[in-house]
Amino acid sequence: MAHREMHFAGTWYPRSAEECARMMEQFREGLQLPEVPDRLHGGILPHAGWQFSGKTAFSVLLALQRAVRPRLLFLFGMHLPARSPNYVFIDEGFRTPLGPVEAHREAARRLAEGFDFVVEHTSSCRPDNTIELQLPFIKALFPEARVVAAGIAPGDAAVALGERAVQVAGELGEPACFLGSTDLTHYGPGYGFTPRGTGPAAVGWVRGENDRRIIDRFLSLRPEEVVPEALHHRNACCPGAAAAALAAGRRAKADRGHLVHYCTSYDLAPDSSFVGYAGVVF
C-alpha cells in the first residue's frame, strides 16, 4: 500500500506547505460567509486552479468546518461520460503538500459493492484534478478525517450511489460529510459553446441564467434533475458527482442548500472563454 502521488501541485495549486497555507489565509481574509444551519451534511465545490476557484472551494469547506466534525468525507468527482463506469480509489491515502490524507478503505469497498466500479490503486490511477485540488483544504481543515474518493458517472446510478454513501457511513458508525466536485458553465470559443456570443452580455447570461439554473437545483436538493439539466444546458462538468452529493445530503435529512460563494474565471481574468464556480453547503 502507498499514498497516491500529487499530479497538479506546483501548477494548479502550490507545491509547498508554506505557500498552500499562505493562499488559504488569503482566501480567509475578508471572507464573509452567509448564515448557515448549525448542522450541515456536505456541499458542492469547484476544482479549477486555486487562483481561479480556490476561494470558492475553500469557502465550502470552511463553512462545513464551522458546523461539523466529520471523521469520514465522501468526495465525489471526475470528468466521466454518461456511459462510463464509476471509479473508486482503494489504497492507503493521498499525498498533499501539508502531509498525507488517509483513505477510508472499508467505506470505499462498501460503496462499490453492487455498482459498476473500476477500482483504482496508487499504482493504477489516472491524474484527476476534481479530487486532488480539494485534498490540501481537507488536510488543513479536517486533519483527522479519512476520505473516500470516487468518480461518479452522470448516469442513473449517481443518485443511488449518494444514498448508498449515507448507508455506508451509518453501518460504520462514522460521522460523515458528502462533497460533489464540479465546475459550472464552460463558455466561449475555447469550449465550443457560444449561444450568447461573447462579451459582457455572454457573461451576464452565464451568471444570471445558465449557471443559475443548476445552482437552483443544488439549493433545492433536486439531485434527479442535475444530470439531465447539465447534459442539456452544459452548465456542470461533473453532474454525476454533484447529483450523488445532493442525494446523500437529502438522505441525511438536509432540507435545503445555501450558496456560500460564486464567481467566474472572467471576474479574475476577463477573456472570451471562461468558467463559472459555485460553492454550496447543505
Q: How far apart are CA 24 and CA 280, in angstroms?
A: 18
Which grid cell sits at 11?
Answer: 501548477
What pLDDT is recorded for position 123? 83
The CATH number, out of the four listed (3.40.830.10, 2.60.40.10, 1.10.260.40, 1.20.1440.230), of the domain defined by the range 3-281: 3.40.830.10
Q: Quick one: how far is CA 201 from the chain centroid?
A: 28
Residue 261's closest CA among 277, 250, 247?
A: 277
What pLDDT is recorded for position 1? 53
* DSSP notation for 157-170: HHHHHHHHHHHHHH
Which grid cell sits at 143?
Answer: 486533519
What pLDDT is recorded for position 261? 97
What pLDDT is recorded for position 124? 80
What pLDDT is recorded for position 207? 98
What pLDDT is recorded for position 37? 85
What pLDDT is recorded for position 199? 93
pLDDT tens for 203-231 read 999 999 999 999 999 999 999 999 999 99
Each domain of the chain, given as residue ranges in start order, spans: 3-281
Provide the whole-model pTM: 0.96
CA count, 13 A, side-chain hemisphere, 191: 20
What pLDDT is recorded for position 189? 98
Q: How far apart are CA 9 and CA 14, in angstroms?
A: 5
Which grid cell sits at 124?
Answer: 493504477
What are the average pLDDT values for consecutive 10-residue runs of the chain, which has 282 residues?
Answer: 89 98 95 89 98 98 96 98 94 96 97 93 88 98 98 96 98 98 98 96 98 98 98 98 98 97 96 98 98
